[in-house]
A and B are shown apart, each in its own frame.
Chain A
Amino acid sequence: MTDVQLVELTVNSERHELAIPPRRTLADVLRHDLGLTGTHVGCEHGICGACTVLVDGRPARACLLFAAQVENAEIRTVESLAGPDGELSDLQRCFGEHHGLQCGFCTPGFLMLAEGFLAEEPGATREEIREVVASNLCRCTGYQTVVDAVDDCASRRRASLQAALDTAGSTR
């Protein structure tokens, strides 16, 4: 445990230099070295998804990665979702409106999972969303309202994109 490695990480667009043991997981580094405690740890073996973050835009389990493995990647955590003034994103607001969280321990993982998924699949159906939501565990909600929240966020994003296209079309 005494050998320490220099690792450079980019988290939420900020560059960090860390001297850490090579066995230190990304989850531990985010939480305990960088103080980004929004990423939670529920199992440390890749099943629960509470630790889900985005690595180069893709949802990944921070408990299964060593920080040293993701030196050249862009990492995003739940702390990046709200605006600089603290205003919650559309996705976060949808979770609140649908009561998609109770204790909130699983929530950052679901938010990052959905954030990554919707960026890739903005047209996802409710069934496809349910399938993706099934990658993480929640013990409180029974999942229905989590699916509702992600689905509603996707439809709202599609509607506002359509509205923007319509406006662009009509002004052209």
Chain B
Amino acid sequence: MREPGFRTDGTWVGADVPRREDPRLLAGRGRFVDDITLPRMLHAAFVRSTEAHALLTSVDLSEVRGVPGVVAAFDAAGLGLADITALLDRPAEEFTPTSMPVLARDKVRYVGEPVAVVLATDPYAAEDGVEAAVVDYEPLDPVVTETAALAAAGAPVHDEAPGNVLVDVSLFATEGIDAVFDAAHTVVSVEARTGRQNALPLETRGVVADWDDRDEQLLVRTCTQVPHQVRTVLARCAGLDEKQVRVTVPDMGGGFGQKCVVGREEIAAAAAARRLRRPVKWIEDRREALTASFLAREQHYTARAAFDADGAILALEADVVCDMGAYSCYPFTAGIEPLMASAEMPGVYRVPAYRVRGRAVTTNKAPTAPYRGVSRPQYVMVMERLMERAARSLGLDALDVRRRNLITEFPYRGINNITYDPGSYLESLDLCERVLRDEGWHRHTEPGRVVGIGYSCFSERTGYGSGAFAQRKMQVVPGFDLSQITMDLDGTVSVTTGTLSHGQSHETTFAQIVADRLGVPYDKVKIVQGDTDRITYGWGSFASRSVTIGGSAASAAAVKLGDQLRALAAHLAGVDVDTCELDGRGGVRAADRTLPFTELAEVAYLRSHLLPKDVGPGLTATASFDVGGDGTFSNATHGCVVALDPGTGGVEILRYVCVEDCGVAIHPRVVEGQARGGIAQGIAGALFEEVLYDEAGQPLAPSFMEYKVPTAAEIPDVRIEHLETPCAFTANGAKGAGEGGTIGAPAAVLNAVNDALRGTGVELDSTPIPRHAIFAALAPHEEAS
């Protein structure tokens, strides 16, 4: 690991500079949404459905309005908002459009669905108000599992989708694939289920909204990863112009995808603020966050792969069913998981023939949103299980089987019509294996413990440009990002970005990028993010797009501004612009003299009569960036050593190594932080966390007592090794680093557990890995010894 501190070679990119975010956050002086208090502010609380599936026969709020402190209460009819609708441009047989009302109307579709909103002078009174609501239901049979959804026996979740299927795509189907399977030396299969998980930002969702009469604008401070999307949806739902809505984002305590879709509560609270002409705050409590927020990851894979006798993969086939819960999220739709899995499952391997069916089913459970990694933790796990299975059945070494199949020549055009840019697939595997071996880890048993080692190899497409998102056929196509840069008259710089940090350190990393492009000290660069009035347009932060796309836009804007500064210097010095260069320390070299930016900026603002005739005053530039082609691929290999406890079936992680390649690391320590945090979330999904429901659709994990979030006692130290394959088509060579940790961890842990179980005849393919299955697998083994 590099030592913290400033680089001395004059460049900021690649240096572990102190984070700009840290001083305020360490001093307890950050400003998170619940830290905001406004005069006359009301507090919102939601009346939520107690039924998983029912007709809403009546919502009686008359008692609520009598509760001391309660000022108002609205049901769907009372707020009168349009629905939230996310669409795919796909034919009817592939996609069934459904809508999500802001407050439930006519019908409820999951326990916790918002039915009414109560506004009171303090949050305790708002909760008292919620207690007083009387809601009548006519229960319907709940559709709780994917199997029940596909059986479509009772009332469907949405009338528009009688079979409870919202997305159904069959893709690729390489010609002759059946013959390949028939003739193959070996065919292995895997059936895997992955548990429903909560992305679980430690700060729950929340909003403070108020109507500003002077600006004629609804000012919405909300913790979202996608402020412009919230503006659009709120404007549409409430019938406002976009300019009548301003969305700003304060400090955010994590998001991980859960906040990259538009939430119903933020729309309802903002609409209530407009209606009542009083500020309204809503802070989600943990119970709501665990039961009624956006969830993810509940998938079922039936997959098989054909191999030749040498372990070369010949064909891959998968059927992927994703349980998307009750509603399609905006803007991604219920297609988010199945479309990701279907498009990208072949991953890092040279798969010559591929066929996949991906489905999104709807059930009476809380809806889903993208969660860090989106489907990749799942399909990587399935691919890695297929590799392990093939190795076992062919009697080959599992790492050699991977080596036999890894993509090594770039750019590589996959069977899935995606072009992979250069990466270090093989190199990362070799290094990971070497590190573990050099540390002395090898599979062995020690008294009372059974040890196993597991690996996972993967790449993750990051920085999806509009072209890549267009392949998904979303009606709303994210991709580009815009940056505006302005130099003030003292030579300091501010840069807008449409991405926004919720822990990823953009104030630091974007400043590093711009400082290098312009040649100014990094602390003279200020980043402006999370404000729809100050930022023309932006897609927000998700899909590891911020540094790749937003960082490239900021970089391009800085280059443009640099050109302006050079032109101005050339004019003032009376030389040709081509002879002028940024000097890397806050000035322009023009012929034999250097003009400091401060001098140029003073001319631009205070002595504009000196400017060339065709140049306007001020120093500002705007640039946009969109990743061309198919995006860029970060890659990694994870290696994990586990010990199983035969007495309890428990899994202890003894060692974890991650060899990652995200291209140029703007701030290596931040990259490591992303990897470690991601790995912790991946381990959480592999071993601990699952959102469970009973057969009536009641959530079984409404608090941290039941939903087991791992602590420092369960998450191991992670050794990280960096490889660097710079990306040729982002401005800074960066490839994105936000999600990889989460993607690789479940497969590595699962493979390690299976390695430890070798000889018991038991192979486990699903997560969270059931302790009882490990216990049962080891029990006879114990007796025999």
Q: Which residues of A contact B (CB under 8 A)?
A: 1-2, 21, 23-24, 31-32, 35-45, 47-48, 50, 77-79, 81-82, 86, 88, 92-93, 95-97, 99, 101-108, 111, 130-131, 133-147
Contacts and interface: CB of A to CB of B under 8 A. Distances in A.
B29 A1 contact: no
B26 interface: yes
B655 interface: no
17 contacts: A24-B124, A37-B28, A37-B31, A48-B202, A86-B27, A88-B26, A93-B26, A96-B26, A102-B505, A103-B203, A103-B254, A104-B21, A104-B30, A133-B712, A139-B201, A139-B256, A145-B676
Nearest to B122: A1
B97 interface: no
B28 A108 contact: yes
Nearest to A95: B26
B717 A36 contact: no
A114 B120 CA distance: 37
A23 to B, nearest CB: 7
A152 to B, nearest CB: 11
A38 B34 contact: no
A130 B202 CA distance: 20
B680 A137 contact: no
Contact of B35 (A37, A79, A138): A37
Given A45-B703, A137-B709, A144 B717 contact: yes
A91 to B, nearest CB: 9
B21 to A, nearest CB: 7
Contact of B27 (A79, A133, A142): A79
A32 B34 CA distance: 9
Given A38-B29, A40-B32, A99-B672, A142 B286 contact: no
Given A102-B673, A105-B32, A134-B711, A139 B681 contact: yes
B184 interface: no
Given A1-B122, A141-B673, 6 more contacts: A99-B669, A101-B26, A102-B677, A104-B22, A131-B713, A139-B680
B37 interface: yes
B26 A104 contact: yes
Contacts of B673: 99, 102, 140-142, 145
Nearest to B125: A1
Contacts of A104: 21-22, 25-26, 30, 251, 253, 503
Given A2-B68, A40-B253, A99 B670 contact: yes
A146 B27 contact: no
Given A82-B27, A88-B26, A143 B704 contact: no
Contacts of B204: 42
Contacts of A133: 711-712
B705 A130 contact: no
Interface in B1-36: 4, 18-19, 21-23, 25-32, 34-35
A80 to B, nearest CB: 9
A37 B29 CA distance: 7
B711 A39 contact: no
A102 B504 contact: yes
Given A2-B68, A43-B286, A92 B27 contact: yes
Contacts of A44: 285-286
B20 to A, nearest CB: 11
B254 A36 contact: no
Contacts of B26: 81-82, 88, 92-93, 95-96, 101, 104, 107, 111
- Which secondary structure dominates where chain B touches chain A? loop
Contacts of A38: 27-30
A143 to B, nearest CB: 4
A43 to B, nearest CB: 4
B33 to A, nearest CB: 11
A79 B203 contact: no
Given A1-B69, A1-B128, A96 B715 contact: no
Contact of A88 (B27, B30, B201): B27
A35 B252 CA distance: 19
Interface residues of B, number: 61
- Which secondary structure dominates where chain A touches chain B? loop
B718 A96 contact: no
Given A1-B69, A42-B286, A99-B670, A139 B715 contact: no
Contacts of B203: 40, 42, 103, 105
A77 to B, nearest CB: 7
B200 interface: yes
Contacts, number: 179
Contacts of A108: 28
B679 interface: yes
Interface of B: 4, 18-19, 21-23, 25-32, 34-35, 37, 68-69, 122, 124-125, 128, 200-204, 251-254, 256, 285-286, 502-505, 669-670, 672-673, 676-681, 703-705, 709, 711-715, 717-718, 741
A88 B26 CA distance: 8
A44 B288 CA distance: 12
B690 to A, nearest CB: 16
A130 B69 contact: no
B712 A97 contact: no
A13 B490 CA distance: 42
Nearest to A41: B34
B743 to A, nearest CB: 15
B123 to A, nearest CB: 8
A122 to B, nearest CB: 20
Given A102-B504, A144-B717, A96 B18 contact: yes
Which of B21, B251, B253, B678 is the most central at the interface, judged by chain A CB atoms within 10 Å of its CB?
A: B253
A138 B37 contact: no
B124 A23 contact: yes
A65 to B, nearest CB: 16
A168 to B, nearest CB: 31
A135 B711 contact: yes
Given A96-B22, A104-B26, A142 B201 contact: no
Contacts of A88: 23, 26-27
Given A48-B202, A101-B22, A143 B712 contact: yes
A23 B123 CA distance: 12
A142 B711 contact: no
Contacts of B670: 99
A137 B502 contact: no
B725 to A, nearest CB: 24
Contact of B712 (A2, A130, A140): A130
Q: Which 6 A-B pairs have the closest CB atoms?
A: A38-B28, A105-B253, A104-B25, A103-B503, A142-B676, A78-B28
Contacts of B34: 31, 37, 41
Nearest to B684: A139
Contacts of A50: 202
Contacts of A141: 673, 676-677, 680
Nearest to B502: A103
Nearest to B673: A99
A75 B557 CA distance: 49
A47 B705 contact: yes
A35 to B, nearest CB: 8
Given A43-B286, A103-B202, A104-B21, A143 B28 contact: no
A22 B452 CA distance: 54
Contacts of A138: 202
Contacts of B27: 38, 78-79, 81-82, 86, 88, 92
Contacts of B717: 144, 147
Contacts of A1: 68-69, 122, 124-125, 128
A5 to B, nearest CB: 14
